[in-house]
Structure 1
Amino acid sequence: MNRILSLLALGHLAFGAAAHAQDMANEAATSPWSIAEHAKLRLIAGPTAPTGKQRVGVEIVMSPGYKTYWRSPGQFGVPPAFDWAGSTNIGGLDVRWPVPERFQDSAGYSIGYVGEVVIPVSVQPVDPSRPVMVVLKLDYAVCEKICVPVKGEASLWLEPGVTTVVSPRLESYEARVPAPVKPGPHGGKPAILEAKLDDTVVDPGIKLTLQVPQDGSIEDVFVEGPGMWSFGKTHLTPQADGLITAQIRINDRPKGASGPIPLIFTVRGTPKPVETRLELDIPTAKP
């Protein structure tokens, strides 16, 4: 009888160990933290996408009160610079930026992330049947009252076809990546109905007409142009018909730039941020 009980106990322990091992296997793989001044960085893996692309997140956690910057940092700041040169079996990388927020620093308004962020990256293997080694060197800045340039290095081994891992943290930030939408109404998402020049400012700015989804909101709009374009803080004005007008000043532009200019508008709002790309015919700046 004692022998039977011992065998049952061993079986229970073996089952528990196997279940724990399976739970550990299902958790997302992570690299060690790369520690810098007022910040730390690591890579986290998510499940392989149905297309065969590997899903990775660049996680940055900062000291309380510190911020880092978006791809277009606003009036001041430095966007992160990614170096993937040491990676193997990678045919392409797509950095997918979560919607940022606007914050005020010592000199003006900048755009980025406060406290923490996970930047999703889609990785296309050259050979999907072979493992991928993701190696990242990142130059970025973290700022409180002044900015501190920092560096981070991380690497992560990804097995092919791993679909059982879970990464709620990565997935929560993937959900914050703006959905690409064309100009015009979109049920359930914020929308840009019209974009035109705004003649109410000395040097023409941009005026948008925005549609807010039912039970949704629009909090801000970030504008990007090719090269050295710079845009001011967005001023949102609700209208009587339920629409919102957004006025955005052109602060700076490449010398002599005019004509149809490709612009990216990122609308921060609920239930889902959106990104709209369009061309706007902008005249030469007034002398």
Structure 2
Amino acid sequence: MSEAFCTCGRREVVSSRKNSPRRAGGREQLPFALVAAFYLTFGTFTSPAKAASEAEVDGARVSLHVLADGSTLRGALDIDLKPGWKTYWLSPGPVGLAPRIDFSKSESAASPQLSYPAPTRFREGEIESLGYTEPVGFAIEASPKPGARPLLRADLLIGLCRDICVPVQLQLEAEPDASLGTRAAVRRAFDALPIESESRAGWKAELSSDAKRLVIEGAPEAFAQTRDLFVAAPEGWAFGPPGFERDGGQAVANVPVLAAPASAPRLDRVDLVLTDGEKSELIRALPVGRDGPTQ
């Protein structure tokens, strides 16, 4: 199974990232990636003996729904968060555990792809993370193979946080069904996705030469209704909230770089999610230049 950067994100697997210790609820915590690696290595996660379509865990009920929609399989991975709990987006910030979801064991289902709704910002002590503070559904799309009945099988690792943060590993599986509950879950997940822009025309991204800012330029009206902008990038990159301004006839968003990989290929492309409080827009695979201004 290959791993590729492709945001908002349609990718089958998003790896956990290296984190620094943080405080939450007044207690020092281990970096999420180290905790997750320990559990994966020594097998101390609890998983059901036989995979089911849903599971109750600390902080949430997680369920997998699949609907046969003509020549396409559409699904939803629902994370029904309990009050006060949070989970993470695919680019969760300097700390946090990005969802890691593997569909490779699915049967008679080709190339399942996952898409995420726009995240929100929330504080964890002195750290800002990106994710979800309300129940959320990740949308799934796949192509059924001829012959046998499809079975969607998901191995997943997610982070759930309240006063403490818990890495949760589950195995879920589901066959297509046409129940009202499944139809409603799938509809909610797809309705919540950002509207994907049909063109990147007029958009430009540059990483400053000191790698401390990502400068996003758009047409004059580009950020007229935008309240927030989220950047999805390969593992190890994290970005803060944008500052909006005008530069001549261009609308500009200056996005601080909070973390970058110590050794990694240059930042070639990013996905942008723009929100106005009610709607969201996705600009996929925007090329990133490296001749931006320094501070």
Instruction: Please report the TM-score for the alignment, with normalisation by the length of structure 1.
Output: 0.70
Identity, % of aligned pairs? 19
Look up the match of 1:76.
Answer: 95
1:281 counterpart (289, 292, 295):
289
Look up the match of 1:248.
Answer: 255
CA RMSD of aligned residues (A): 3.6
Query: Structure 1: any 5+ residue segments left out of the alignment?
Result: 1-30, 185-192
Q: Which amino acid aligns with 1:33?
A: E
For the pair 1:264 / 2:271, whether they are aligned, the reply is yes
Give the Å deviation of 1:110.
Answer: 0.9
**Which structure is larger by alpha-carbon Rg, 1 or 2?**
1
Q: Write the distance in 2 (CA, Å) between the matches of 1:166 and 1:243.
A: 45
Distance 1:202 1:241, change over 3 A: closer
Query: Structure 2: any 5+ residue segments left out of the alignment?
Result: 1-51
Look up the match of 2:166.
Answer: 148
Give the Å deviation of 1:166.
Answer: 6.8
For the pair 1:205 / 2:224, whether they are aligned, the reply is no
Q: Give the secondary structure class of the aligned counterpart of 2:189.
A: helix
The question of whether the paired residues in 2 share the 8 Å contact of 1:256 and 1:285 is answered with: no
Look up the match of 2:195.
Answer: 179
Question: How is 1:1-287 mapped onto 2 (pairs within 5 angstroms)?
Answer: 32-48=53-69, 50=70, 52-127=71-146, 129-158=147-176, 167-181=183-197, 182-184=199-201, 193-197=202-206, 203-209=212-218, 217-237=225-245, 245-255=252-262, 261-269=268-276, 270-283=278-291
Give the Å deviation of 1:207.
Answer: 3.7
Instruction: Please report the TM-score for the alignment, with normalisation by the length of structure 2.
Output: 0.68
The question of whether the paired residues in 1 share the 8 Å contact of 2:86 and 2:162 is answered with: yes
Q: Write the distance in 2 (CA, Å) between the matches of 1:136 and 1:226.
A: 22
Distance 1:180 1:253, change over 3 A: same
Q: Write the distance in 2 (CA, Å) between the matches of 1:103 and 1:210.
A: 29
Count, aligned residues: 241
Q: Give the secondary structure class of the aligned counterpart of 1:158.
A: coil
Q: Write the distance in 2 (CA, Å) between the matches of 1:47 and 1:183.
A: 32
Distance 1:96 1:165, change over 3 A: same
Q: Write the distance in 2 (CA, Å) between the matches of 1:174 and 1:35.
A: 23
Deviation track 1:66-103 (CA, whole Å, cap 9, x = no partner) reads 11011111121001111334421122111011111121
Q: Write the distance in 2 (CA, Å) between the matches of 1:113 and 1:95.
A: 16
